[in-house]
């Protein structure tokens, strides 16, 4: 039998439990559970019943030093991802961190720096949406120049509805000191990653963010952000947790086409026969009249393709686990290198900082200024320690 990677799962909550099940159900053929870890004593008996014979630890350092694991995944609160990633790599164990990579860029930059000094180890992040065949295809289309240069992007992603009971379920949830933020650090990191992965990193952002707008929480439950890519290109990102109907619509407008994604399932790709400016310059008033009257043949100007893929539940997460193991075993390129995790954290930080200061913020913002503002809010809560 081919060698399998022994994975240690830190945190047996919803995500950690799902990954353990994916592995035992055979969805990750090149991986097995090496050990489980959780600080909740009640999880020990549950783990013994579901995964008999698998070592269980209540201290992740003890698990790392047990010799039972080749790699770990960190399914813990966001602030702990960088710290646990570093301690894992320090012991020459491969690390897969959950999203987001951390809460603030200063701690994620430290993780990335440590990982860069250990190039022989695999370092990845659970950006499972990068394993979505739809978004992988759209990235190819954009990179191939099939819709030309990007002129505008916008993503409305408000199908993260969460009732008050969700926020009341844990003392750390929806707090500055425990979770580090709201929808930007909990629900939307995948979209913040995909948006930049496909469309590029913006130069600056201006945001209007509502804190405790429709829920009794301290952190953000609604966000509207406008980004500037330079050269006149802009983007808009809207997200919320109080829209019970919800919308997931992603548009990318290029100077030679357009992509419209609905519900992260179907994409309509329009490719212009010529760049839009050439079409405009070549139209006389007679053409304009025909356009307004619906008499022009669209096929003379553009073609349309609808793209849709079947995607089995769990396939994207299990695919990242399988890819991570393959990178360890034979060097297969990572779908989501861990170092990429800083991009989404940086954009979320910039959105927060813009709303706190009421100014447009460069993506090259002062990390110490952001951390000071975050610590002000942690101190006001009076529940959790400030960060450094």
> Residues in the chain, how many?
388
pLDDT of residue 170: 87
Nearest residue to 8 (alpha-carbon basis) of 77, 55, 76: 55
Q: Please, what are the domains in the chain? A: 5-129+314-338 (3.40.50.720), 132-312+344-381 (3.30.360.10)
DSSP-based three-state secondary structure for 260: strand
Distance CA 296, CA 323 (A): 48
Q: Which helix (H) or strand (E) holds 386?
A: none
What's the whole-model pTM score?
A: 0.95
Q: What is the DSSP string of 288-305?
A: HHHHHTT-S-GGGTEEEE
pLDDT of residue 310: 83
Query: Do residues 97 and 89 lie in contact, with contact meaning Cβ atoms separated by under 8 Å?
Result: no
DSSP-based three-state secondary structure for 239: strand
Alpha helices in 266-339 (DSSP H): 276-281, 285-292, 315-330
Pairing label, strands 123-125, 94-97? parallel
Query: Do residues 178 and 76 lie in contact, with contact meaning Cβ atoms separated by under 8 Å?
Result: no
**Residue 349, CB half-sphere, CA atoms under 13 Å: how many?**
29
pLDDT of residue 173: 92
Number of other CB atoms surrounding residue 159 within 10 Å: 17
Nearest residue to 54 (alpha-carbon basis) of 30, 317, 63: 63
pLDDT of residue 312: 66
Q: Which helix (H) or strand (E) holds 199?
A: helix 189-199
pLDDT of residue 1: 46
| Phi, psi for 368 (deg, rounded to 5) | -70, -35
Question: pLDDT in tens for each of the 388 residues of the chain?
Answer: 469 999 999 999 989 999 999 999 999 999 999 999 999 999 999 999 999 999 999 999 999 999 999 999 999 999 999 999 999 999 999 999 999 999 999 999 999 999 999 999 999 999 999 999 999 999 999 999 999 999 999 999 999 999 999 999 989 999 999 999 999 999 999 999 999 999 999 999 999 999 999 999 999 999 999 999 999 999 999 999 999 999 999 999 999 999 999 999 999 999 999 999 999 999 999 988 998 898 989 899 999 999 999 876 678 999 999 999 999 999 999 999 999 999 999 999 999 999 999 999 999 999 999 999 999 999 999 999 999 9
Distance CA 219, CA 197 (A): 26
């Amino acid at each position: 039998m081919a060698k399998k990677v022994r994975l240690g799962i830190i945190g047996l909550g919803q995500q950690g439990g799902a990954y353990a099940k994916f592995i035992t159900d055979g969805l990750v053929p090149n991986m097995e559970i090496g050990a489980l870890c959780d600080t909740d004593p009640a999880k020990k008996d549950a783990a013994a019943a579901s995964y008999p014979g698998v070592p269980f630890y209540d201290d992740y350092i003890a698990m790392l030093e047990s010799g039972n694991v080749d790699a770990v995944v960190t399914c813990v609160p966001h602030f702990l991802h960088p710290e646990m990633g570093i301690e894992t790599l320090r012991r020459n164990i491969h690390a897969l961190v959950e999203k987001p990579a951390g809460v603030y860029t200063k701690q994620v930059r430290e993780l990335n720096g440590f990982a860069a000094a250990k190039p022989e180890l695999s370092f990845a992040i659970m950006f499972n949406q990068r394993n979505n065949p739809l978004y992988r295809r759209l990235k190819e289309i954009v990179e191939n120049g099939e819709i030309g240069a990007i002129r505008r992007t916008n993503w409305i992603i408000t199908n993260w509805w969460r009732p008050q009971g969700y926020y009341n379920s844990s003392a750390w949830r929806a707090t500055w000191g425990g979770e580090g933020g709201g929808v930007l650090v909990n629900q939307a990191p995948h979209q913040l990653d995909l948006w930049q992965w496909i469309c590029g990193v913006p130069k600056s952002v201006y945001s209007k963010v509502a804190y405790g707008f429709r829920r009794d929480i301290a952190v953000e439950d609604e966000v509207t952000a406008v980004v500037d890519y330079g050269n006149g290109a802009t983007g808009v990102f809207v997200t919320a947790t109080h829209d019970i109907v919800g919308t997931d619509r992603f548009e990318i407008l290029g100077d030679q086409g357009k992509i419209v994604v609905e519900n992260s399932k179907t994409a309509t790709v329009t490719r212009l026969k010529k760049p839009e400016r050439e079409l405009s310059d070549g139209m006389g008033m007679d053409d304009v009249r025909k356009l307004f009257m619906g008499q022009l043949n669209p096929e003379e100007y553009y073609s349309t393709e609808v793209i849709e893929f079947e995607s089995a539940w769990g396939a994207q997460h299990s695919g990242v686990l399988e890819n991570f193991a393959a990178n360890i075993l034979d060097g297969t390129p990572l779908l989501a290198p861990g170092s990429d995790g800083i991009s989404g954290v940086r954009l979320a930080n910039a959105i927060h900082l813009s709303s706190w200061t009421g100014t447009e913020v460069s993506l090259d913002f002062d990390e110490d200024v952001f951390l000071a503002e975050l610590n002000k809010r942690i101190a006001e809560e009076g529940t959790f320690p400030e960060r450094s």
